Amino acid sequence: MDNIRIKVGNAAGTEITVDSELSLTSENPVQNKVVTAALNGKQDTLTIDSELSVYSRNPVQNGTITSALNRKQDIISPEILKWMLFGAFPSEMHRNIFRGEYLGATVTSAQKAAIADGSFNDLFLGDYWTINGVNWRIADMDYYYEKFYAVEEVQTTDKHHLVIVPDTALYETFYKDGNTDTTGYAGSALHSAEAAEAIVNSAFPGMMLTYTDLLTTNSQSPFTFARRECTVEAMSSAMVFGNYTVYNTVFASSSSLNNIAGVPSCRQFALFGIAPVYIQTENRYFLRDSCASDIKVVVAYSSPRYYPPNQKAYHRPFFLLGVNEQ
């Protein structure tokens, strides 16, 4: 360093060293020309980068940042996020995941294809269509698909399907006209009721499946059963509550319990097991079960209640939604 020494005062005065270079450690004054040269060496203008960089310390243009953020938003779009949350599950898991998403006011061609091939792509438990003022909710999937009776090798249906249950009852009715019933659910006004079929066909034209189920043909213990073709049907206590509440009474015999054990429809609908809040409606509705010729069962306040057949209650049925031209 070529420093300059300056003597202040007389011959015996104090010497002051003036630095000729800038320093982070020196406490001496520095020459004016050294400071000027250093300032002149700095850039006269501020550089603003037009591209992102992991090295530059310069500021970046607003448009560059916005464009980069928009590209990130496209990568994690709502559609992609939806796929990340729900798209990786196998079809068998769709009945075990409650989503509760609105599916529209009609069944789209993509939804029909997803039902027909059994992939149930973008269809999950609790999803629903709102048609004609009714929420038609997915209560289960492939509930009857390729199921067989324990006693007879009879298949219920070979078509993939959704089990649909409306959030509200469709209309008020009798279980069967008259004070007594001796023909069981198979002979009731609820079995494949024309009024219920008309409502469902209006909402889902051509998509209501016909299938085979084992229905009671006698309302006196011991109960008898027979295979019947079914369309729009009242639910059983097993479908709603997960067990045959009615048959576990004094009216049931061991032979009756053995008979119903092989029925494919002895399982609870997945919707009511995962989200039991959907069991209750504002109106009491009939179940298909019979305790005896003069005792029927309704659901009221989320629990089964015994009910005389000559009093009205509401019909809240289920049906299988599928593609008939498959």
DSSP letter at 194 equals: H
What would the pLDDT profile of 28-85 be if each residue is shown by its tens digit?
A: 888 888 888 887 777 667 788 888 887 877 788 888 878 877 776 556 666 666 666 6
- Spatial distance between the Cα atoms of 201 and 203, rounded to a whole number of angstroms: 5
**Nearest 10 degrees: Cα torsion 126, 112, 143, 237:** 50
Cβ atoms of 49 and 56 within 8 Å: the answer is yes
Q: In terms of domains, do 185 and 276 share one? A: yes
- Whether pTM > 0.85 for this model: the answer is no
What pLDDT was estimated at residue 251?
A: 35
Q: In terms of domains, do 192 and 294 share one? A: yes
Residues in the chain: 326
Query: Angle 223-225-228 (CA atoms, 0-180°, nearest 5)?
Result: 150
Among 106-110, 173-177, 280-284, 299-303, which range has the highest average pLDDT? 106-110
81 within some domain:
no
What pLDDT was estimated at residue 33?
A: 87
Query: Encoding tokens for residue 163?
Result: 């089990």
Note down the domain range covering 68: 4-74
83 within some domain:
no
| Out of 43-47, 174-178, 195-199, 241-245, least confident range | 43-47
What pLDDT was estimated at residue 322?
A: 96
* Overall domain count for the chain: 2
> Pick the residue with more confidence: 167 or 13?
167
What pLDDT was estimated at residue 288?
A: 85
Three-class secondary structure assignment of 113-166: HHHHCCCCCCCCECCEEEECCEEEEEEEECCCECCECCCCCCECECCCCEEEEE
Centre a 10 Å sphere on the Cβ of residue 285 and count the other Cβ atoms it contains.
23
What would the pLDDT profile of 238-270 be if each residue is shown by its tens digit?
A: 899 887 655 433 333 334 444 444 556 778 999
Tell me the pLDDT band of 301, cut-offs 50, 70 and 90: low
79 within some domain:
no
Query: Encoding tokens for residue 316?
Result: 């809240």
Helix (H, G, I), strand (E, B) or coil at 315: strand
Q: In terms of domains, do 221 and 269 share one? A: yes
Q: In terms of domains, do 123 and 211 share one? A: yes
Q: In terms of domains, do 284 and 135 share one? A: yes
pLDDT > 70? residue 103: yes
Convert 181-197 to b/e letters by CB count within 10 Å (16 or more is b). beebbbebbbbbbeebe
- Spatial distance between the Cα atoms of 167 and 126, rounded to a whole number of angstroms: 10
**In sequence order, what are the residues at sequence separation of 6 or more whose Cβ sits closer than 8 angstroms to the Cβ of residue 280?**
299, 301, 302
Q: In terms of domains, do 62 and 140 share one? A: no
Q: In terms of domains, do 69 and 216 share one? A: no
